Structures are given as structure tokens and as C-alpha cells.
Structure 1
Amino acid sequence: MSALIGDKGYDGDGFRAEIVDRGAKPVIPNKSNRVTLHSFSKRAYKGRNVIERCFCRLKDFRRVATRYDKLARNFLAAIHLAAIVAYWIN
């Protein structure tokens, strides 16, 4: 089953319904002021942190963060190089 993981900013009934209509399960925590609480997988939501850290690490490279490359293949190559360097450092 596929799931869409989002933060509290995407906690809306219309957005949740759209996700379900497209065949995915919403993994979105409830806002603090929400009246009707929805359940979500806290275990799956913790995986979001890993992805956020990966994007943050890639954005440390100026070329990737500002998207200097005009061609998609060059941009993808820059992402690959940045990922290799980021992996190599840690």
C-alpha cells in the first residue's frame, strides 16, 4: 500500500479525501486545534525525518540549492555528485 507522508500543514479534510481517492493512505499528524482526530502511523511518519535530512544535506551544495543547471540531465548529475560527497563525508 502506498502512503503520502506530510506534516501538520497538510492536515485538511479535503486534502485527505483527495489522497484516499487516489489510492494512497494519508500519514499526516493532526493539528492541535483539530476537532475530529484522524489516526496515522507514527512509525511511518518517523521515516519522513530521514528524507528531510537528505534534502537538507543536498541543499548544502550551492549548485543544487540554486539550480544553476538549465538541463535536467546536468542537474541530475549535480545531485548525484552531491549525494556521493555527502555520503563520503559521513
Structure 2
Amino acid sequence: MGRSRGGLTSKIHALVDAEGRPVALKITEGQAHDGRSAVDMLGGLGAGQILLGDRAYDSDALRTRMAEQGAWANVKPMPNRKQVLAFSPFLYKYRNLVERFFSKIKHFRAVATRYDKDPDNFLASVKLAALRVWLRAL
């Protein structure tokens, strides 16, 4: 867990498919930057797939890596970016799938209240909640 002015915090990083089902999950400290800490989760993206990310994932390194993998990063550019790259607002609307996934797993009290203080146990709780999301989708 990370320490901030508000106390001990953590972030859940999730990679979901086109139907909002989780593919990869990760827990990091609350003060860790989203773009740097979630890079190892993006190895599963292949040719023809699209990464829909918010502004925290706007980096040239991430876009280059996605291009090398054959995927396209449709990431909303930062307002202070000098070279604005291709971005589709229409596709970006589908990013709500990951937000809806977070809404679904927060219905589980152990996830919403961060009941487990150990990061491994908390990740297990998140994965159990994600499993329930998968089972409901089937």
C-alpha cells in the first residue's frame, strides 16, 4: 500500500475486453503513476486490438509499444501535448466499459471498503469479484 496525505491508499488497474469482462488485474500503490505501473499488463494486446485509455496513459513510449505489438492506442491526449496524435472520440466512448466493471466490483463490500490490508489478499478479493462478473456474463 502506498502512503499519501489521506492515509494508506492503493489503485486497482484493470484491462477489460469488449464486453467489459476483466482480462488482467493489478494492484499498485496509490501514489504510483498509472501509465508506468500498468505497462506490464498490456503485453496481451495483439494485432488489430485497440487500447482505450484515459489521459494518464498518454505517453509516446506506450503508443510506440502498442504499435510494435500491432495494436492501436486510442488514448485521450493531455491538454499540454505539443504533438497531438490520432484520437477517435467515437471509440473513446466505449472506455466506459472499464468504469462499469469497477462499478460492478465495488458492489462487493470487501473491495469497496478495502477490507484486506495485505495487497495480495486484497488482489485475491478483487479477483473473486471479477470472477463473479465473468460468471454473470456467461
Equivalence for 1:59: 106
Instruction: State the Cα RMSD in Å.
Output: 2.9
Question: Is there any run of 5+ residues in structure 2 with no aligned partner, and where?
Answer: 1-47
Instruction: Report the alpha carbon displacement of residue 80 of structure 1 after superposing the two structures with TM.
Output: 1.4
Q: In terms of Rg, which structure is larger? A: 1
Q: Is the 8 A contact 1:64 1:78 kept in 2?
A: no
SS at match of 2:73: strand
In the alignment, structure 1 residue 37 sits paired with structure 2 residue 84? yes
Deviation of 1:67 (Å)? 7.9
Q: Deviations over 1:47-90 (max 9, x none)?
A: 1113212222312312345486x6x6xx5477417x75xx9xxx
Identity of aligned residues (%): 36
TM (normalized to structure 1)? 0.69
Q: Which runs of 5+ in 1 are unaligned?
A: none
Can you list the C-alpha shifts for 1:2-59, whole angstroms capped at 9, x where unaligned?
0111110111111110111111000101100000001112121111113212222312
Structure 2 length as normaliser, TM-score?
0.48
1:1-90 paired onto structure 2 within 5 Å: 1-65=48-112, 66=114, 75-76=127-128, 79-80=131-132, 84=136
* Structure 1 residue ranges (4+ consecutive) displaced by more than 4 angstroms after TM superposition: 64-68
Q: Which has the higher helix share?
A: 1
